[in-house]
Chain A
Amino acid sequence: MAVIDDLTTVFEEVFDQKNLTVTNETTSNDIDGWDSMSHVTMLMAVEDHFGIEFKPYEIANLVNVGALVSLIEKKLAEKG
């Protein structure tokens, strides 16, 4: 399963929405309920789902979902 598909599942769980369409271009403006408060929970859920950990500087300037996907893929590659 592609990272973005897994990520969509996590988003649906965190933001309590069914059948979300998530693409690399998706930003917080495109998803109801994605604000600074739910962002923290979302990142923790992503870490837990993929078994990875983000460093604060890595997540400070994620511009869209594509940037998050790239970061997750990098972390998974490092994990081996």
Chain B
Amino acid sequence: MMAKNIGYMCTGMQCEMGRATKVAMRLINPDLSRVDYTFKDLDRESNKFANVLKELGVHKQDKVFVFLPKQVEVFFAFLGALKYEAIAGVLFSNFGKEAVFDRLLDSGAKILVTKQSFYDRISEILPNLPALEKIILTDVETNQDEKVLSYAALTSKASNDFMVQDVDPETPSVLHYTSGSTGRPKGVLHIHGGIAHQIDTMDEAFQVEEDDIYWCTADQAWVTGVSYGITGPWAKGITQVHFTGKFDAVDWFEILKREEVTIWYSAPTALRMLIQDEARIIGKYDLPKLKRVYSVGEPLNPEILFWVRKVMHKEIYDTWFQTETGGVMICNRPGLEIKPGSMGKPLSGIEAITAGEKDEILGPEQIGSLRVRRGWSSMFRTYLNMEDVYREKFHGDYYDTGDLAKVDSDGYFWFLGRNDDVINTSGHLVGPFEVESVLLAMDEIVDVAVIGAPDPMLWEKIVAFVKLKEGLTWSKSLEVKCRIAVSRQVSPVAVPSEFVVIDKIPKNRSGKIMRRVLKAQYLGKDVGDISTMED
């Protein structure tokens, strides 16, 4: 059976359902001025981009990436690529050149939509990306040469109309990259049929209604920013607010109030930053239109939940999902009593369990691997170029999330941490290997290991243990050099908050870094079994 194309469901279908003149996106600029785009606008502009891809000779299933800060072309190009049945991806605008290179190389991206300053930033990696055929710049008026083209010039000549075909639901749609414990980031491939689960969750978890004004603060480079900042809400015909400015407590509350946001989806780190700045907002903003707040990305501490209740006079619902799941799996929601600190219960049709080391299903209060039974529509279909790693993620019929959790006797799930070395810092997943690779390439450093450690603001902070070249001593200049290197090569979010100089990085006899030993030492805990550690 064929399915509707996600790009069409978010645009043309909404027009056909009578929402052509309804505001789809209210784009708020950093100065808080705003521009509205209707569903008709979204449909036309994404059609134009789909026609641009056709004109450029792009084939269905070629990879098209957007590398931009939050701006309107992100949405137009993304939806246009989906309509064309290309595989669409968004790269985090703060990625350094190494991070961009890894993703474009692994995906074999054919088209990159970016802007002049970003193009300048990554220009040195481009000769090593043979598959990348065209670069489209959003802030130049004319084509620069045969390879570097102008978004404005291309779209000005493109037709407003594009016939979107129904698709096999298994047709690949979106490619996200996510960090792992080892190796380079993995390309998580989703399908057009996955939109069904996102729509279901818009109904059951977010309980959206026609007149809702919905604001998801996530960047479009992450799964939340796509599933719940582009596709889910628009496939439901909901008006979304998008803010192109940086975090500022007053600006955010001004937007919540002025735009009469009814459903707000944000993250614990952002909420903690609001709490830190509460003197500027408490008592100054009534938010009578705001119905509910939702949270994602990190566990929602009870302190935040109580703060939202006390200061905003609203309920806040934690949601749990991953890049791989494509949509919310477990959450709190209206109609379900909240247990502060718990991430709630699985949504309809989602069977989640905790499992022990022998894959046995654990009972209440037992800590184990959080697993979800395969079969939900937005489940990822592979790790691009890593089918073996994909298969390893499944234990029988269950996808192993890599999270540790327990279930209480009432069926509520409680997140307890990761069972691998991936670091969740302010809602961003960072692989230790990515950071270690950059630091190890520095002349001053002969060995390095990176761990995540608890942090009251970031959930986890990144701590780098470095062994310096003989005769060198640590200095502020060297720390600045290390920080800039990681920031430029990977991302500012991957920059260690702390550097610890040590004489030797603990490794096992196979040469694998024993991060748990470093972490225990750092936290002043028992290091446990070290019988496999090299001499």
Chain A residues within CB distance 8 Å of chain B = 13-14, 16-18, 28-29, 32-38, 40-41, 44-45, 47-48
Residue of A nearest to B477 (CB): A48
Contact, CB under 8 Å: A41 / B245:
no
Contacts of B97 in A (CB 8 A): 16
Please pick, from B93, B120, B476, the residue contacting A33 in the complex, using a CB distance under 8 A: B93
Give the one of B120, B246, B487, B492 with max A CB within 10 A.
B492
Closest CB-CB distance, B266 to chain A, in whole Å? 15
Contact, CB under 8 Å: B479 / A35:
no
Please pick, from B93, B245, B483, the residue contacting A29 in the complex, using a CB distance under 8 A: B245
Residue of A nearest to B482 (CB): A41
Contact, CB under 8 Å: B492 / A33:
yes
Question: Given A18-B120, A41-B483, A44-B483, A36 and B96 touching (CB < 8 A)?
Answer: no
Contact, CB under 8 Å: A41 / B121:
no
Interface of A, secondary structure class, is helix
Pick 24 A–B contacts, CB within 8 A, sort by A: A13-B484, A16-B97, A16-B121, A18-B120, A32-B69, A32-B117, A33-B93, A35-B94, A35-B246, A35-B247, A35-B492, A36-B247, A36-B273, A37-B426, A37-B492, A37-B493, A38-B495, A40-B495, A41-B480, A41-B483, A41-B487, A41-B495, A44-B476, A48-B476
Please pick, from B30, B93, B120, B480, the residue contacting A44 in the complex, using a CB distance under 8 A: B480
Q: Tell me the complex Cα distance, A29–B248, Å.
A: 11
Closest CB-CB distance, B388 to chain A, in whole Å? 34
Contacts of B273 in A (CB 8 A): 36
Near A by CB (< 8 A), chain B positions 478-504 give 479-480, 483-484, 487-488, 492-493, 495
Give the one of A13, A14, A33 with max B CB within 10 A.
A33
Give the 7 A-B CB pairs with smallest separation, nearest first.
A37-B492, A38-B492, A29-B30, A41-B483, A16-B488, A48-B480, A45-B480
Closest CB-CB distance, B410 to chain A, in whole Å? 38
Contact, CB under 8 Å: A38 / B245:
no
Closest CB-CB distance, B296 to chain A, in whole Å? 19
Residue of A nearest to B483 (CB): A41
Contacts of B246 in A (CB 8 A): 28-29, 34-36
Question: Given A17-B117, A17-B121, A32-B118, A45 and B484 touching (CB < 8 A)?
Answer: yes
Contacts of B247 in A (CB 8 A): 35-36
Near A by CB (< 8 A), chain B positions 73-97 give 93-94, 96-97
Residue of A nearest to B428 (CB): A37
Closest CB-CB distance, A40 to chain B, in whole Å? 8
Contacts of B495 in A (CB 8 A): 37-38, 40-41
Residue of A nearest to B68 (CB): A32
Please pick, from A13, A17, A34, A47, the residue contacting B120 in the complex, using a CB distance under 8 A: A17
Contact, CB under 8 Å: A14 / B487:
yes
Please pick, from B117, B121, B487, the residue contacting A38 in the complex, using a CB distance under 8 A: B487
**Bitwise interface map of B from 110 to 149 toward A, beta carbon under 8 Å scored 1, else 0:** 0000000110110000000000000000000000000000
Contacts of A18 in B (CB 8 A): 120
Additional 7 contacts, C-beta under 8 A, given A33-B93, A35-B492: A16-B488, A17-B121, A29-B246, A34-B246, A35-B94, A41-B483, A45-B483
Please pick, from A14, A33, A47, the residue contacting B94 in the complex, using a CB distance under 8 A: A33
Contacts of B426 in A (CB 8 A): 37
Contact, CB under 8 Å: B480 / A38:
no
Contacts of B476 in A (CB 8 A): 44, 47-48
Residue of B nearest to A14 (CB): B484
Contacts of A16 in B (CB 8 A): 96-97, 121, 487-488
Q: Tell me the complex Cα distance, A38–B94, Å.
A: 9
Q: Tell me the complex Cα distance, A48–B475, Å.
A: 10
Q: Tell me the complex Cα distance, A28–B251, Å.
A: 14
**Bitwise interface map of B from 492 to 528 toward A, beta carbon under 8 Å scored 1, else 0:** 1101000000000000000000000000000000000
